[in-house]
Amino acid sequence: MALVTFTSPEYRDKTVYAVAGSHTQTVLKLALENKIPINFECEDGECGTCLVRVTSIDKKNQRMGGPLTEKEKTVLKEVGKVTAEELEKMIVDDLPCEWRLACQMIVRDEDIRVEY
């Protein structure tokens, strides 16, 4: 079980359980199932509307890498959240990206904070 805390300046924080390891549950799907008013449009990694900032709240473990999808790489570069050099470094060093698209990011077995 992973704990995902959704936080926004406009709404109260909400922490929900996620069934990690399903390999199909995205952050957006989890948010919608729990009535979290996260913005989205295409649900396909194209528009960038569902951009979120993800940080670890797991004190024991380091944040998992979790690869960015090709669509995320494209959108994150377009909106100026990452540079090509930063992307390269993340891939080489297997580092997690703090900016993700909620419709593309699969929930893994880690406790995270999602700012939307």
| Contact set with ligand FES (CB under 6 A) | 40-43, 45-50, 101, 103
Closest to ligand FES by CB, 58 or 74: 74
Least spacing, CB of residue 24 vs ligand FES, in Å: 16
Chain-centroid distance of CA 97 in Å reads: 9
Q: Are 27 and 105 in contact (CB under 8 A)?
A: yes
- The answer for residues whose C-beta is within 8 angstroms of residue 51's C-beta and 6 or more apart is 75, 79, 81, 99, 100, 101, 102
Give me the least distance between CB of 71 and ligand FES, in Å please: 7
Q: Measured from the CB atom, is 37 or 61 closer to ligand FES? A: 37
